[in-house]
Amino acid sequence: MLKTERIIEAFKKIDRADFVLDEYRDEAYSDYPLPIGHGQTISQPSTVAFMLELLEPQEGEKILDVGSGSGWTTALLARIVGPGGKVFGLELIPELVKFGSENLSKYNFPWSEIQQGEKGHFAPHRAGGSGTRFDRTLVSAAGDEMPQALIDRLKIGGRLVMPIQNSVWKADKISETKLNKTEFPGFVFVPLK
């Protein structure tokens, strides 16, 4: 499943066990989702690997991680982009903002953080406000459609990977008005709120 060296290295260095609830630690290395509380899950490793390969994050990029949950994907992305990049995790559920931030703090990634999100808004407060554009955006909860606000936040040449209903979609922003989209069916995610 994994083909990209920086992604493989991130999976080796970022321990999923650091991002699960204590009662699921024995199952941290199993390839299925695990509950993290509040009706949310940490995605199964093979799905995260698939989505990261689609995303193609690069060293030095600015990345938005929507639905950061336990902080695992934020940490993986932070490892990939390195200190020249920046990763902003957004999470709606305050208890998961705290949980994810505590988990992320187990690693020395000062170029990454998890912030409290607001429903329908995708602008991390400390990312520079509503005019901020991202090289990549990863969404880890399923929507009914691609939110225009996320598309607007992508740089031209940027990429968005997100689940829509029961598929994972990859969208490349070609211009301010054109996206190239590719669908990969056969997935189940918690709903985007």
Marked catalytic residue, from 30, 43, 130, 167 = 43
Question: CA–CA separation, 106 vs 120, rounded Å?
Answer: 30
Catalytic-residue membership of 43:
yes
Burial of 134 (0-12, 13-18, 19+ CB in 10 A): buried
Angle made by CA atoms 50, 141, 25, in degrees to the nearest 5: 70
**99, 18 contact by CB (below 8 A):** no
The residue written with tokens 């969208």 in the block is 171
User: Could you tell me the two tokens for 132?
Assistant: 């901020």
Question: CA–CA separation, 138 vs 15, rounded Å?
Answer: 20
CA-only gyration radius of the chain, Å: 15
Please identify every residue annotated as catalytic.
43
